[in-house]
Amino acid sequence: MKDCSLLIILVPFGHAPKIVKYAKENGMVGATVMLAFGTVKNKILDFLGIREIRKELILTAGRTEFLNELMGKLENKFKITRKNFGIAFTIPLMYINHKQLNNDEKINFKNFKDEEIKTVKSAIFTIVNRGKAGEVVDASLQAGARGGTIINARGSGLNQTMRIFDMEIEPEKEIVLTVVDDTKLDGIVQSIREKSDVEKDGHGILFVLPVSKSYGIK
C-alpha cells in the first residue's frame, strides 16, 4: 500500500462546510463531518457551568504528501490554528479500501509495523458508555492533557451498530479524543485507566495512535 494517512480537523460548529468545500476545490475527494464537543479548561466558564463547546470533526483519507500540503493550504486560508479555534493532524493508515489510494496492491501489515514512525504526539481514543466521557476528560486533564473532544457515536438507525475491536459502538456510547505529547502519554493513559470505567468489562476500550503531523496542537 502506498503512503496514506487520515486527516482529522476539529473546528467550531458551522465552519466545516466551507472548509470541506475549499478542500474539495483543492483536490480532496471527499470527507465525513461529525458533531463533537470540545472540553473547556477555563476558570470563568467552569464557574458559569459551561464546560463544552460544540465542534465539528472532519475526517478524510488520502496520500500523506497530499494531505500535508492540504493542511498547509487550509491553515493559510482559514487560520485554523489561531487561538481557541481549531486543530488539524494526520495519522498514518495501515490500510484503506479505496482503489485510488491503494491501487489493489498486496497489503503488508508487517512492513508497516516494523517501520519507525517519527512522531512526538499521540492520539488517545477512549470509548465509554454515554455519560462517562466527563470522567475520561477529567482524568486526562489531571495528568497534564490540555483538553479533549467528545464524539457521540451514533448509527443511522436504531438497530444499526458499528464495531471497533469487537466492541459495539451504539447510540449510548461516547468517544473521547485526546491529542498529547508523547512525554505525557503514559501518565495520561494510566490516569484514564485508573479514574474511569474503561477497565471494566464491557464498559469501554482505550487505544492510542501515532500523530505524524499536526497544526494547532501545543
For domain 94-217, give the CATH number.
3.30.70.120
pLDDT band at residue 68 using 50, 70 and 90 as cut-offs: very high
Q: In this predicted structure, what is the pLDDT of residue 62?
A: 85
Residue percentage of the chain with pLDDT more than 70: 71
The terminus-to-terminus CA distance of the chain in angstroms comes to 31
Q: Secondary structure of the chain: what % helix, strand, coil (to 5)? A: 30, 35, 35
C-alpha cell at 36: 463533537
Domain boundaries, the chain: 1-92, 94-217
* pLDDT at residue 186, rounded to an integer: 92
Question: Would you say 173 and 164 are in contact if contact means Cβ atoms under 8 Å apart?
Answer: no
- Pick left, alpha or beta for residue 147 (phi over 0 → left; psi -120 to 50 → alpha; otherwise beta): left
Mean pLDDT value of segment 38-57 = 62
Determine the Cα–Cα distance for residues 149 and 59; give it in Å rounded to an integer.
Answer: 14
Q: Which CATH number describes the domain made up of 1-92? A: 3.30.70.120
The pLDDT value given to residue 106: 47
pLDDT for the residue 50? 46
Do domains 1-92 and 94-217 share one topology? The answer is yes
Q: At what angle do helices 133-142 and 182-195 cross, to 10 degrees?
A: 130
Cα gap 119→102, rounded to integer Å: 23
Tell me the C-alpha distance between 58 and 52, whole Å.
Answer: 18
pTM across the whole model = 0.69
DSSP structure class, residue 105: P
Task: Categorize the per-residue pLDDT at 138 as very low, low, confident or very high, splitting at 50, 70 and 90.
Answer: very high
pLDDT reported for residue 117: 58
Task: Please give the Cα distance from 142 to 9 (Å, whole number).
Answer: 25
Name the residue with higher pLDDT: 9 or 39. Answer: 9
Cα–Cα dist 61/29, whole Å: 9
